[in-house]
Amino acid sequence: MVKIKMLIKQTVRIILLILILPLLFAITTTAAISELEIIPKNPVPGDDINIFGVASPNQEITITSSFHDIRPVSAGKYRYDLNDIEVPLKPNRFSVASMNVKNLRVGVRTEIWITKGINASEGVATISFDDVPHGNYDIKIFGDALNGTSTVEIDVTALAKIKADSDGNFKTRIGTKGFPTGEYTITAAAPDGASKTITVFSDEEPTSALTSTSMPPTITPTKTPRITPITTPVVLTLAPSVTIAGVTELNVTPQVVVPGETLSISGETSPNEEIWIDSSFELSLPISDGRYSAEFLGISFIEGEKKFSARAENIQNIQMSLSPFTATCNGETIEVSTNILGATIPLIEKPLEITNGTVTLSFSFPMKISGFDIDIPPGKKDIKISGDAIDDASTVNLKVATSIKVIADPNGDFILDIHTAGVPFGEFLITAMGLEKTVQIVRTKPTPGPEESPSVSQTPRPSPTPSPSQYQILGFVIVFAILLAIAYLVLRHKRNFLKK
């Protein structure tokens, strides 16, 4: 009987051991990330962070780097600019989260701005970009803050996936160029949930209190104050009708410039009025072997809402290149594409007919495509227009125009500077809501001739009339000179007489 009990106990132990061993093995294999290390330990913005670690053999590892910052609110808005940020190789994800906000907009630029926006939920908004092409980007984060909020919290996260080798070793690199000083969190995670996290501190002190290395304080949004209705009677006085909208004055200086000079445009309109200032030029293009072409190098574009158009007459087709956009109209449809990191990406394809040899290509920026805002970065751009002319045409008439939106100040004054680089010689027309001014673009400015000095008639001076005292002195001098001459002659005569 005792032997049977001992046999049963041994059997139970064996069964328990069989059950526990796989569990222990499972627990051991779950810890897929066993080591995680970075070099340098305390990087500064611009350094490359090299990440080394050990995981399970051939394990897929997700590397995440993130940082937190606080930005001030000005006039109810916030903005955060990051320049030349490196996005890792695909597959990747770049995400931005903002707190204490009404909405969030994130713009990413290589050669053009691509902007994505979202409304916040309970003061929090998050935007993600998946599988962004590897490269360096300028990023702007902006939007409207909650009422009464003085600062906004922002989290930026970049995610990439790598694979460990057959020995379980993995390594990768994260570029920190363009990121601010502060605290960074780097995490290596396996699909089963195992992960290791390290925190990196820049060894440079933040340059201002806006980039703090400490965790930000909790910010409680201030409630919007209730507005008490006014019960006092309001007296309304009717005044003579006046024109509220419109430009009442338009000034452009100088009115004669050489290409590359800056025009200063100013004027008056209604307070806080939105107006469009148009600038345009026209020219006739020669035709060679049935084709026409023109280049305008260094045309200046500024930030903000703008429009660009080109109208061509006597043509069969047209292609316009406004880096990095290309628009092609074959007479029936127009196709617009852009080039990002060497890849051509189609943006627009829609019907557009060339009627009687005339067509107008017109674009507004930023343009919204598939939920994204696409814009032309500010700066100088080259514009090239070419195509086939209609048969028997001697010239192609071309009109190029740009429109820029400006907002007048509370006094109704507005001002805008326009660079004339790339504008051809001739008339350059500036218009604003019906008022227009013409500027002459010339090769050399006329030099004003030297100013002639007014001729001054010289009145002859009368000869001074000697006074009586002057006569007396003159007579004395003459008499004295005669006496000296006589004395000299007498002495000379006496010497000659004695010698004899």
Mean pLDDT calculated for residue range 356-372: 83
pLDDT score, position 372 = 73
Pairing of strands 195-201, 183-189: antiparallel
The predicted-structure confidence for 45-68, as pLDDT tens digits, reads as follows: 777 888 888 888 888 888 888 888
The span from the CA of 312 to the CA of 398, in Å, is: 5
Which residues, at least 6 apart from 296, have a Cβ–Cβ distance to it below 8 Å? Answer: 382, 383, 384, 400, 422, 423, 424
Mean pLDDT calculated for residue range 226-235: 32
Q: Is 140 helix (H, G, I), strand (E, B) or coil?
A: strand
The DSSP call for residue 276 is: E
pLDDT score, position 113 = 73
Overall CATH class of domain 249-441: mainly beta
pLDDT score, position 4 = 52
The predicted-structure confidence for 112-131, as pLDDT tens digits, reads as follows: 677 888 899 999 999 988 88
The predicted-structure confidence for 302-353, as pLDDT tens digits, reads as follows: 888 888 899 999 999 999 998 778 889 988 888 888 876 667 778 888 888 8
Higher pLDDT, 77 or 83: 77
Consecutive H or E run containing 113: strand 113-119
- Percent of residues, the chain, with pLDDT higher than 70: 71
Which of 306-310, 419-423, 483-487 has the lowest average pLDDT?
A: 483-487
The predicted-structure confidence for 166-221, as pLDDT tens digits, reads as follows: 888 888 887 777 777 777 788 878 776 666 666 665 544 433 333 333 333 333 33
Higher pLDDT, 301 or 176: 301
Higher pLDDT, 367 or 218: 367
pLDDT at 468 over 70: no
Q: What is the pTM of this model?
A: 0.50
Name the segment(s) of the chain with CATH classification 2.60.120: 249-441
> From start to end of 180-317, where are the E strands?
183-189, 195-201, 249-253, 256-257, 262-268, 274-286, 291-301, 306-313
Which of 149-158, 391-400, 458-467 has the lowest average pLDDT?
A: 458-467
The whole-chain average pLDDT of the chain stands at 76
The span from the CA of 6 to the CA of 88, in Å, is: 63
Which of 211-220, 418-427, 459-468 has the lowest average pLDDT?
A: 211-220
pLDDT at 428 over 90: yes
Q: Is 410 helix (H, G, I), strand (E, B) or coil?
A: coil
pLDDT at 399 over 80: yes
pLDDT score, position 478 = 66
pLDDT score, position 487 = 66
Token pair in block for residue 479? 């008499």
Confidence band (pLDDT; 50, 70, 90) for 28? very low
